[in-house]
Amino acid sequence: MSKVLVTGGAGFIGSHVVDGYLREGWEVIVVDNLSTGKKEQINPRAKFYNLSITDRKMEEIFKKEKVDLVNHHAAQINVRASVEDPLFDAEQNILGSLNLLQNCVKFGVKNFIFISSGGAIYGEPSELPVKEISPKFPLSPYGISKFVVELYLYFYKKVFGLNYVCLRYANIYGPRQDPFGEAGVVAIFSRKMLEGKVPTIFGDGKQTRDYVFVADVVEANLLATSRLEELNQRDVFSVDDLAYNIGAGKEVSVNSLYQKLAHLTGFKKAPSFSQPREGEVKRICLDFSKTEKELGWRPKISLEEGLKKTVEWMNKKSSL
């Protein structure tokens, strides 16, 4: 494999993944419609197409570029937006993904990495940390759409021989995260605190999330890429066989996260509280033992270290 198409490569996580592939010597093609991504985040060494993954013109890119691998980060990622407009969420996340998969079949692309959601597909788990084989009871159209694509990937492997891996992300944070979006609590809290504004916590703040620094996520993508074909040589019996949790395995409450960021930023005020958001789970953290065993991955950067790096980046950015 030598040429990779990264969808969503102008986004927070996707742009870091693009940088990772380039460091490894890959030729990188980026497709992003810049709805949430930023052109300035795209590595100048990557070739860029400003296009939605739902567009029929995707076929022209596949035909022209002859990629060896698709790394699919592009998505509608806002849980609340998915609750408010399930049709748009399905169009972007399900039909957009199918557009890519159909083009993979048509143009002989044999390798696919899909970014799924470990935070949304499991719903409210009965046991924590959650394993890949845990029941799937998503509480939002976003979680549903992510799992539906996993099911489609299983079909495309069985019927068309597509090699794939699903990476089920926990809450990813770090430099380049959008502080003005609806998702990305670390970036949103950091920016507000640095500006002296009081952040809002939705709900009582006791809800928990599992946080992973973006550099660790890049490493997970590169390890998945290097082992993709090897993993697909095995007999695959279920949709969970080629799914991997990318999490730290630790519950962190929103209140605790607030306190850590307040300490780092020197912010002294208490948060304001608002109504909880529909579709969001109360508690989640992911068991990454299977990922460590089969991909050789585990998170290396602690939450404290990662938050410090993120606040430093945000501070530097706001002072420019």
Catalytic residue among 142, 173, 211, 244: 142
For residues 271 and 262, what is the distance between their CA atoms, to the nearest angstrom?
Answer: 10
With beta carbons less than 8 A apart as the criterion, state whether 152 and 294 touch: no
With beta carbons less than 8 A apart as the criterion, state whether 96 and 53 touch: yes
For residues 198 and 200, what is the distance between their CA atoms, to the nearest angstrom?
Answer: 7
Q: Considering only CA atoms, which of 113, 175, 129 is closest in space to residue 316?
A: 175
| Pairing between β-strand 163-169 and β-strand 208-209 as defined by DSSP bridges | unpaired
Q: Which two tokens stand for residue 165?
A: 């891996």
For residues 11 and 244, what is the distance between their CA atoms, to the nearest angstrom?
Answer: 22
The amino acid at residue 171 is N
Rg of the chain in Å (alpha carbons): 19
For residues 77 and 90, what is the distance between their CA atoms, to the nearest angstrom?
Answer: 11
Phi then psi for residue 223, to 5 deg, are: -65, -40
With beta carbons less than 8 A apart as the criterion, state whether 286 and 120 touch: no
For residues 113 and 244, what is the distance between their CA atoms, to the nearest angstrom?
Answer: 11
Q: Which two tokens stand for residue 315?
A: 């501070």
Question: Does 142 participate in catalysis according to the annotation?
Answer: yes
With beta carbons less than 8 A apart as the criterion, state whether 156 and 121 touch: no
Where in the sequence numbering do the catalytic residues fall? 142
